[in-house]
Amino acid sequence: MKNRKFKKIVITGITGSGGSYLADHIADNRPGTAIHGISRWHSTSSARNLARSRSRVTLHECDLLDFKSVLDVLREVKPDGIFHIASHANVRASFATPLAVLNNNIMGTANLFEAVRAAGLDPVIQLCSTSEVYGQVQKKDVPITEECRFRPASPYAVSKAAQDMLGHTYFANYGMKVIRTRMFAYLNPRRADLFATSFAMQVARIEAGLQKTLLHGNLDSTRTLIDVRDAMESYWTAMSCCDFGEAYNIGGTTVIKVGEFLALLKKLARCPVPSKADKTLFRPTDVTLQIPDVGKFRRCTGWKPRYSFKESVAFLLEHCRAEVSREARK
């Protein structure tokens, strides 16, 4: 098993929910690695999300849609590793603003790859793809392997499929050291648009008397769930160990329906939690069956999650209750 070392890494979208947890993981576990992060100048999430690891991070104001600013950062830092996390990632919102999502995610990725070439660098690039590229799979394709055909069901999923294919194209044609990871659903307390975080935040608000009823969308989708801390550790593992040009599914082992997860949170709540469907929270097209085959990644790396499902849910609720407590004190 490979174990590549990195002296300087760049995380695109470092102030976002996933990027900031990745920065936390590297800061806590890789003291010899310098962490550089790209964040747009108008980002509003950096102070809160990077609170734990900010002292270890060199932050660069840069928009991936501005090729020159991307090139300037890469020429200055000269990273030997790049985690490409930045993305417009709200699936439901992508139906309302498809052109913005497509432009940001596809052209931002193309600019990054072209800037790497123009700067004459040869870093390992971990490209953060998603299970959404598989779309609405047939039951015969479950569990989903990396060979499953793409059937993207949203503008966001189309943009990520394009990113994924760009990654393979730049590996095949320019010899770039691209590793594609297709992450399935995870519990991420810092990302409010995920169903699990939305539910937990609303439970905390109802407990605090700030909200009366929990609103939800489709409860019939089936997911596997993994802790965000495990997910970000797996990205480091992929960068360190995986084969260039390959794609790897990453996901949890707990299979659960969205409605079952809501029922679990209601049981853990400190008061009754009434709930009702809100039609504005339903997607025009939903992906309802997302169960991965993660054997390829585990065979390559030996990696497995550290946190149990119970620990992950407790971590999520604790975060949301703390956020609501701050809100209530204002």
Three-class secondary structure assignment of the chain:
CCCCCCCEEEEECCCCHHHHHHHHHHHHHCCCCEEEEEECCCCCCHHHHCCCCHHHEEEEECCCCCHHHHHHHHHHHCCCEEEECCCCCCHHHHHHCHHHHHHHHHHHHHHHHHHHHHCCCCCEEEEEEEHHHHCCCCHHHCCECCCCCCCCCCHHHHHHHHHHHHHHHHHHHHCCEEEEEEECCEECCCCCCCHHHHHHHHHHHHHCCCCCCEEECCCCCEEEEEEHHHHHHHHHHHHHHCCCCCEEEECCCEEEEHHHHHHHHHHHCCCCCCEEECHHHCCCCCCCEECECCHHHHHHHCCCCCCCHHHHHHHHHHHHHHHHHHHHHC
Instruction: State whether 51 and 130 are in the same domain.
Output: yes
195 shares a domain with 56: no
Q: Assess whether 131 and 200 both reside in one domain.
A: no
What pLDDT is attached to residue 52? Answer: 93
Q: Please check whether residue 3 lies inside any domain of the structure.
A: no
Does 291 fall in a domain? Answer: yes
Residue 149, both tokens: 């055909």
pLDDT of the residue at 46: 57
- Contact call for residues 213 and 205 (beta carbons, < 8 A): no
- Based on the domain organization, do 72 and 138 belong to the same domain? yes
**Is residue 24 domain-shared with residue 148, that is, in the same domain?**
yes
Residue 271 confidence (pLDDT): 98
Mark whether 175 and 287 lie in a shared domain. Answer: no
d(CA 49, CA 102): 25
- Do residue 191 and residue 174 come from a single domain? no
Q: Phi first, then psi: what are they for 84, rounded to 5°?
A: -95, 95
Residue 178 and residue 206 in one domain: no
Answer yes or no: do 134 and 281 share one domain: no
Bridge partner list, 273 = none
Cα 53 from chain centroid (whole Å): 18
Instruction: Indicate whether 297 belongs to any domain.
Output: yes
Q: Is residue 2 part of a domain?
A: no
Q: Looking at the structure, tell me whether residues 88 and 137 fall in a common domain.
A: yes
Dihedral sign computed on CA atoms, order 142, 89, 255, 252: positive
**CA separation (Å) from 230 to 93, 103, 188, 308?**
26, 30, 10, 10
pTM: 0.95
- Judgement on whether residues 88 and 112 belong to the same structural domain of the protein: yes
For residue 329, the model assigns a pLDDT of: 80
Between helices 309-329 and 258-268, what is the axis angle to 10°? Answer: 60
CA–CA distance, 298 with 179 (Å, rounded to integer): 15
> Of 194, 145, 161, 160, whose CA–CA distance to 18 is shortest?
194
pLDDT at 236: 98
Residue 144 lies in a domain: yes
Lookup: tokens for 95: 């139906």
- Helices 228-241 and 17-29: crossing angle in degrees, nearest 10, is 70
Alpha carbons within 13 angstroms on the beta-carbon side of residue 14 total 30
Q: pLDDT by residue for the chain (330 residues), tens digit each?
A: 679 999 999 999 999 999 999 999 999 999 999 999 998 865 555 568 999 999 999 999 999 999 999 999 999 999 999 999 999 999 999 999 999 999 999 999 999 999 999 999 999 999 999 999 999 998 899 999 999 999 999 999 999 999 999 999 999 999 999 999 999 999 999 999 999 999 999 999 999 999 999 999 999 999 999 999 999 999 999 999 999 999 999 999 899 999 999 999 999 999 999 999 999 999 898 888 899 999 999 999 999 999 999 999 999 999 999 999 988 887
Tokens of 5: 């070392």
CATH of the domain at 63: 3.40.50.720
44 belongs to a structural domain: yes
* Residue 160 included in any domain: yes
Residue 213 sits in a domain whose CATH number is 3.90.25.10
What distance in Å separates the CA atoms of residue 114 and residue 125, rounded to the nearest whole number? 13
- Is residue 243 domain-shared with residue 269, that is, in the same domain? no
CB 222, CB 257: distance < 8 Å: yes
pLDDT at residue number 150: 97
Q: Is residue 1 part of a domain?
A: no
If one counts the domains in the chain, the total is: 2
Domain assignment of residue 296, given as a range: 187-223+254-329
Predicted local distance difference test score (pLDDT) of residue 41: 66
How many whole angstroms separate alpha carbon 328 and alpha carbon 208? 8
